[in-house]
Chain A
Amino acid sequence: MHTTISEGANPKSVHGSFSFQNLLCHLFESNLAPSTVPEHFAISSRQLTMLRGVAEYAHSGEDSLPLSNMTPELAARTRGTLFHERMHYWQLISSPVHQLAFTIDLEKLRANVKRIGGRSHLIGGQLTGDIVLTEHELHEFTTSNEAHFLPTEFTDNMVVDVTPVAIDPRTAMAHLMLPHGSGVTKRLPAYGALMEFENQKTVVRVPFTARPLLESAAYLSELLYQEYDLPHPQRLDSDDDRIYLGTWEFWRRLHGERYATDFELGLSFLAAVDLAMLSDVTDDDIRGSARHLEVFSIPYRFGALALGARSIPPLSCGNLDPSLAVAQFQRNLCSYLGWASPDLTARKAAVFLTTVLLKMFNSAIPVTAENRELAMWLLNSRQVKAAADEQRLRRIWELLAIATKSSMPLISQSVLGTMLNASVYRVHNPGKFAVPHLYWSELTESFPLPIVYLGGEYYLDGLPPLNVCQDPYPCEPVELLHDCISLVAIEPLLRDKSSCGFVDSHVKCWYVSHGLGCPQEELLAASRNLREATGLHDWCHWTHRSLTLGIASYEVRDNWNRRWHSRDVISHMFHGGPRETLQLIDKFSSSRDEFEVTLKSMETISNIGERLEYYAEKAAQLCYRGHITSNASLLRASLKLCEKALETDQESRSLLTLKAILHYALGEPQDSQIAMERVLLMCTSQQMQDIVMRRMEALFKTRFNPNFVGIFKDWFEIS
């Protein structure tokens, strides 16, 4: 028996949303009534103790909250909705299209943090340090992404040509030119569906953009997961019907006759959507090639896939495991269309993400000839070549695992690491991400949602014990959860706003849900009293991130410093590890006075010989961050630290480069040149020497001006 659309859309008490930008899975009840929404909170003594515990962490600059594990009851109650959101998460982390879009969003965050005077280098991304894309570049990238992703309808004036594909009921594929980017004349070649229904007067139009494709696939997979029959819609009236069923209905009309069962027809549709999103977009070599459109225009790509699938044998499971049947179908389709195989594309995505992570953690990788050779191999090889050498990639992944543990955590590193794991998983488990309703158990165990928010609590997805995929990147679920909270909190920066993302999206964060109110809004007396009583003051997700990124208002920063900073920074310096110390230094050293205190403390600690190189580098990083570069005594103090560190590691290129910079900054060009010549002698190739020389020339032509920072940073990374 076939279920109708309305029967298929089973009534749920819990619905959900998933954001590709911050990975928040937000579940919400649909049976709300005024009386179910509390106006006031009664706090028990147990809750008060718990809030005081949260405040203890806050005093050390941490946003640490009690997390809940999913219970079997909750998992059962939210079953279908959770599966739907998990599927979106798997679509995001395993698709090169989304991986690239995510890194572009990160660049936008970094650029906007820098624009308002914050510490952009604390957000990971394709670029590193404080180098950011220009406003124009970001605008072009983001508007282009939106053109592929967002449109859910098209108008007559966008139709270039129409190809009939079925007669009863009448169905056609429209060749479209969708608005693209900011230019008036710029258009995105695309395809879409035109469908007539017996019971509907209007022709239904659905473009093959990412959103209708992803939603259709998630909805279909959700129905199969819940063991419903697949829908055969009799009409598609509402926007939701078109978005969730439009592309599936087109596929069904185009290919239905060739399939004996809905099961295999459904799998073929899911395989095609997965393949549409498994595009080679991260490979720059493809730009300008004949395959350009099929790679970079998702709605064009799906149209080509839909027509191409008519010329290859239908997907057939036979005696095969369904994932292998899906993988075979995808390979056949790619081969027919002359596209890169799914395996190669996933491998190239892994190379892209490895490159991004390597740039992020370059400075924490031990400097040896072998490591340098590995890094240069990755950066200089064509993607296709690097993708073929998993053995060498594994050596780089081992280095990354060490580097990420010893360096300061960057916002997004866990997400990017999980994307890398998903790409590698895809290589070794072909087909599974396309049809997750058949492999939901192992996918949920390996890639649980980072955060599930329901009724004021944050849940870790999956039933304990959690056994998430850590190959090749080690990533703990709690770290990923905090990464997501950071991304939610700072998300308005994507829209050039510096408010809290929880507030902007009308999502009550944990603090608000626990009666503490929102410091970004007017606090009720009860919330204010509770904050005072627990010692949480103005602490929240946003306060933490805005202090860390250096974008908090003067008042917030000043209050924080007076309340907690001085005591804890010094305490961490002597009792905590370098990672914690660096976190605090970065959070608070935003004025010259604070820097002087910090530097003196660092000098003290350096005398006890702990991680000299680390602190010296940090000192220099702080020096070139603008406002203190002309302070000779601070530069001298940094130089002293640097030279002390060089006593224990005379061959450190980064330290020698740093020494050259500091001498130069102090007006000692000869000493600077001597240090740089030593760096040049350590370059093993002519190419490396040329790069360093060019950087050097650029630097020596530059006096202290804003360019100094960028040039130094470039130079530092290369060397």
Chain B
Amino acid sequence: MNEETIREEATKYFNMDEAELYALLVPEHVRQTLFTKDGVVLRGREIFYTTFAKVRETICRQYATAPQITSHAIDLVVIISDALASSPNLVGIPVLPMAALIVKIGLEELCKDAHNHK
């Protein structure tokens, strides 16, 4: 994808609500299994947090060392998605929806405990 397409995609995902984004993290074949009501979104939420735990150190370190990196949300989605795409721990996870969620929830919130532990 070229730069422009990535930004378009990032904007599309950033404009989705969190529930839609969580659902997108659930693989298509898993979405076809039978969930309890609202279960797909919550399964996506579980995937988000367990996956984020694998990259938290990296993402939060980058954020902590360069908090001024950008204040523009879409730029941040693109930058984080680049970082996620190069992580071997994220095989099979769509990185743009994941990055959009990280930005929407807020790095500050997600990295809170990581900072406290330092």
Q: Which residues of A contact B (CB under 8 A)?
A: 9, 12, 15-21, 26, 28-30, 32-39, 81, 84-85, 88, 150, 211, 214-215, 218-219, 222, 240, 244, 495, 503-506, 508, 521-522
Contact = CB atoms under 8 A, between A and B. Distances in A.
Contacts of A522: 88-89
Interface residues of B, number: 36
Nearest to A80: B36
B42 A28 contact: yes
Given A17-B43, A505-B29, A521-B88, A37 B50 contact: yes
Given A9-B37, A32-B45, A150 B52 contact: no
Interface string B89-107: 1011100000000000000
B75 interface: no
A153 B105 CA distance: 31
B73 to A, nearest CB: 20
Contact of A34 (B89, B92, B110): B110
Contacts of B30: 17, 505-506
B72 to A, nearest CB: 24
A19 B49 contact: no
A39 B36 contact: no
Nearest to B47: A506
B79 interface: no
A215 B33 CA distance: 11
Contacts of B38: 9, 15, 240
B69 interface: no
Contact of A17 (B34, B50, B91): B34
Given A33-B49, A503-B92, A28 B43 contact: yes
B51 to A, nearest CB: 7
A33 B35 CA distance: 21
A214 B37 CA distance: 12
Contact residues of A: prevailing secondary structure: mixed
B32 A150 contact: yes
Given A30-B45, A521-B88, A521-B91, A16 B35 contact: yes
Contacts of B88: 521-522
Contacts, number: 98
B36 A15 contact: yes
A38 B36 contact: no
By Cβ-Cβ distance, the 8 closest A-B pairs, closest first, are A37-B53, A15-B39, A19-B33, A30-B42, A35-B113, A32-B49, A17-B35, A28-B46
Contacts of A508: 50
Contacts of A214: 34
Nearest to A218: B34
Nearest to A506: B47
Interface string B6-44: 000000000000000000011101101111111110110
B47 to A, nearest CB: 5
Interface in B35-93: 35-40, 42-43, 45-47, 49-54, 56-57, 88-89, 91-93
A37 B49 contact: yes
A84 B36 contact: yes
B45 A521 contact: no
A270 B17 CA distance: 34
B34 A32 contact: no
Given A17-B34, A19-B34, A495-B29, 6 more contacts: A21-B33, A32-B46, A33-B49, A85-B36, A240-B40, A506-B26
Contacts of B35: 15-17
Contacts of A222: 36
Nearest to A241: B37
